[in-house]
Structure 1
């Protein structure tokens, strides 16, 4: 009889532990999902990652790629002033593009050896970037 009571007590303890772990996992999941809101503004965050969808294109001497329903995955890296732009559909990435914040929600490119217009905020991404005979364009939303 004592053996049966101890076995049932062990099962009850395991169930309580599993319930507790399930609750912790649920709370953690809710926190993770809420931290990736689409209204996060990349200008206001030290680190940022978000996907923008829309028309994208790339041209160079031998390549002409464009897609009306492409995407650009944007990450803000390092000191919070450098951005990486990872394009879909075989378009080469733009990495290490540096910006300075000027005013509210305005980013200005610095130290560029190319001709560029890049505007990024929580809802839109617009790129017209030319460097070394290569051109990237994007008109996307999130």
Structure 2
């Protein structure tokens, strides 16, 4: 009986390890899941180069990241306009923006969001950590 319990215990351990390996595929592309969706807190700012009245100076605030289809949207706090429809690709386990209508860098990893992005004469910046 003792031998049967040990054999069953070993079998359960092996089964658990196998299930763990198959569910954690290295081929899982972060661009295909919602790992980076969430709320980030830190320093954010906005510069409208055509109208200085719309500028928001650097201050503590939030950025909420959502994913719609294959693009990401960034909802800023502090009265900063949202930045929507940004495309990303995976590079070294982070998301880096590609080929959108703007220029600059938006970089997201599991715990940090960094934005330095210009589009239509407007500049969004963020240096935030996941909340």
CA deviation digits over 1:97-140, x for unaligned, max 9?
011123x4122322222212011011100000001110000000
The higher radius of gyration belongs to: 1
CA deviation digits over 1:51-75, x for unaligned, max 9?
0001000111222102421000001
- Runs (5+) with no aligned partner, structure 2: 1-28
CA contact (8 A) 1:55 1:66 kept: no
Measure the CA separation in 2 of the matches of 1:82 and 1:44.
Answer: 9
Where is the strand percentage greater, Structure 1 or Structure 2? Answer: 2
- TM-score, length-scaled by structure 1: 0.62
- TM-score, length-scaled by structure 2: 0.67
- Runs (5+) with no aligned partner, structure 1: 1-41
CA contact (8 A) 2:31 2:89 kept: no
1:47 equivalent among 14, 34, 48: 34
Aligned length: 98
Q: CA RMSD in A?
A: 1.9
Q: Please tell me whether residue 97 in structure 1 is matched to residue 86 in structure 2.
A: yes
